[in-house]
Amino acid sequence: MNGGYRRRDTNDNIDYLIWRLFRYWQKMQQKILDKYGLTVSQMELLGFISYATTHHIETTQITLSQETGIDPMTTSTILSNTEQEGVISTNESGIV
């Protein structure tokens, strides 16, 4: 015997199923992003920039970092690279 532990069928374990679903979602998300040469962090930042622009919300690097939970230095690097690629433009008051 194994100390009273009975192995459950993994298909009956909700934690396992949620983990599998999450992993599948991540894999599919990355597959789509790869087509556009984007990372998950870039997608999150661009997604919030799009939302903020649509809703006339002033967007700064600090705002982006806080809203997405992405480290401020990482946010700065991603925005700098994205601006060099011509995807976004920035000015002193924020992102345009």
Q: 5-31, pLDDT tens digit by residue?
A: 555 666 678 998 999 999 999 999 999
What does the alpha-carbon distance between residue 22 and residue 19 come to, in Å, rounded to a whole number?
5
| Cα three-residue angle 53-57-62, rounded to 5 degrees | 105
pLDDT in the model for residue 95: 73
pTM, two decimal places: 0.72
Contact 67, 48 (CB under 8 A): yes
Contact 70, 41 (CB under 8 A): yes
| Cα three-residue angle 6-13-17, rounded to 5 degrees | 145
What pLDDT, in 10s, does the model give residues 46-71? 999 999 999 998 889 999 999 999 99
Write down the H helix ranges in 1-96.
14-35, 40-54, 61-68, 72-84
